[in-house]
């Protein structure tokens, strides 16, 4: 693994949605900076491959398969993390899910599935790690929002609502826990070339046209890469952002500015 600057040396970083996309890219960067990793994902096969790949590069990795929206699973996973490492320094809540439907076509089952992963999962993991972080009077929590929480978008009502909730959750946590040494921020990606986005394009009658429309919304003229968002996440995770809490850091290719 390419040596970093050890900005996370000795730290334990928990990453939900860690088997792919922004979660996996951030895990790789965290490991380069000296962190030990806990990867959580519901896709067992992808999780195993991600863990093996990171270990081959020299990272210390604990993989835990399960649903971030299930309270009992989250509690069991936290117990396993504390048994192995004894602490949590960083949480990146990157697990995400999208159905891609407008309100009339969104069943309650679909709504609940999106909210369960994106918002409830973020809440449950934030609540879980607050225990060890409060005891240590230190910690950094990073939630993953979306440019669509601010700009809106078509035919994705549950996803947009969930990401708006994520931003509000971040702000509430930041205010509640600032005096305990815990910083809480959100990264706001634009359209990032991840499996989630590719599945979203695939739901369109014309995936190529859907991708072209998305690219055109970015003044930089392209989709973002998970590794680019990971660099923003790293800034929020480490001491370089020591006076930053309650903030939304955009890595959106200019979408919201344009």
What confidence category does residue 107 fall into, taking pLDDT thresholds of 50, 70 and 90?
A: very high
Q: Give CA–CA dist 40/65, Å, rounded.
A: 6
φ, ψ at 182 (rounded to 5°): -110, 125
- Answer whether residue 188 shows pLDDT above 90: yes
pLDDT value of position 97: 97
Sheet of strand 139-144: strand arrangement: 61-65, 36-41, 12-16, 90-93, 139-144, 182-189, 248-251
pLDDT value of position 13: 99
What confidence category does residue 53 fall into, taking pLDDT thresholds of 50, 70 and 90?
A: very high
Q: Where are the domains of the chain?
A: 12-192+227-251
Q: Give CA–CA dist 137/240, Å, rounded.
A: 18
Residue 240: which of 183, 188, 189 has the closest Cα? 183
What tens digit of pLDDT does each residue of 109-128 get?
999 999 999 999 999 999 99
**SS3 labels along 78-137:** HHHHHHHHCCCCEEEECCCCCCCCCHHHCCHHHHHHHHHHHHHHHHHHHHHHHHHHHHHC
pLDDT value of position 5: 74
The residue ranges of DSSP E strands in the chain, in sequence order, are 12-16, 36-41, 61-65, 90-93, 139-144, 182-189, 248-251
- In order of 96, 159, 199, 201, 227, the CA distances from 194 in angstroms are 11, 16, 9, 11, 10
What tens digit of pLDDT does each residue of 11-21 get?
999 999 999 99
pLDDT value of position 36: 98
DSSP tag of 147: T
Q: What is the mean pLDDT of residues 63-88?
A: 98
Q: What is the mean pLDDT of residues 219-248?
A: 98
Residue 226: which of 28, 67, 93 has the closest Cα? 28
- Answer whether residue 246 shows pLDDT above 70: yes
Pairing of strands 90-93, 61-65: unpaired
CATH class of the region 12-192+227-251: alpha beta
- Answer whether residue 3 shows pLDDT above 80: no
Phi-psi region of 165 (alpha: psi -120 to 50; beta: other; left: phi over 0): alpha
Q: What is the mean pLDDT of residues 228-252?
A: 98
What confidence category does residue 23 fall into, taking pLDDT thresholds of 50, 70 and 90?
A: very high
Kindly report the average pLDDT of the chain as a whole number: 96
Q: Give CA–CA dist 152/146, Å, rounded.
A: 10
DSSP tag of 224: B
pLDDT value of position 4: 67
Q: Check: CB of residue 118 under 8 Å from CB of residue 163.
A: yes
pLDDT value of position 37: 98
Catalytic site residues? 159
pLDDT value of position 252: 98
pTM for this model (two decimals) = 0.97
The percentage of the chain sitting over the pLDDT mark of 90, rounded to a whole number, equals: 95
What tens digit of pLDDT does each residue of 27-40 get?
999 999 999 999 99
């Amino acid at each position: 693994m390419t040596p970093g600057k050890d900005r996370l040396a000795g730290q334990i970083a928990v990453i939900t949605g860690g088997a792919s996309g922004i979660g996996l890219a951030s895990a790789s960067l965290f490991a380069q900076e000296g962190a030990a990793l806990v990867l959580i994902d519901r896709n067992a096969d992808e999780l195993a491959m991600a863990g093996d790949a990171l270990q081959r590069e020299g990272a210390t990795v604990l993989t835990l398969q399960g649903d971030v929206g299930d309270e009992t699973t989250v509690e069991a996973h936290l117990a396993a993390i504390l048994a192995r490492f004894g602490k949590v320094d960083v949480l990146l809540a990157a697990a995400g899910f999208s159905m891609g439907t407008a309100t009339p076509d969104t069943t309650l089952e679909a709504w609940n599935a999106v909210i369960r992963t994106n918002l409830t999962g973020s809440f449950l993991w934030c609540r879980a790690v607050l225990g060890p972080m409060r005891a240590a009077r230190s910690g950094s929590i990073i939630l993953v929002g979306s440019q669509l929480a601010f700009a809106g978008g078509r035919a994705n009502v549950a996803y947009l609502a969930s990401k708006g909730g994520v931003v509000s959750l971040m702000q509430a946590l930041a205010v509640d826990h600032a005096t305990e040494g815990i910083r809480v921020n959100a990264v706001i990606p634009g359209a990032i070339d991840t499996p989630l986005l590719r599945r979203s394009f695939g739901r369109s009658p014309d995936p190529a046209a859907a991708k072209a429309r998305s690219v055109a919304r970015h003044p930089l003229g392209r989709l973002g890469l998970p590794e680019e968002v990971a660099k923003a996440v790293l800034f929020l995770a480490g001491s370089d952002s020591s006076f930053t809490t309650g903030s939304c850091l955009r890595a959106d290719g200019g979408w919201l500015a344009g």
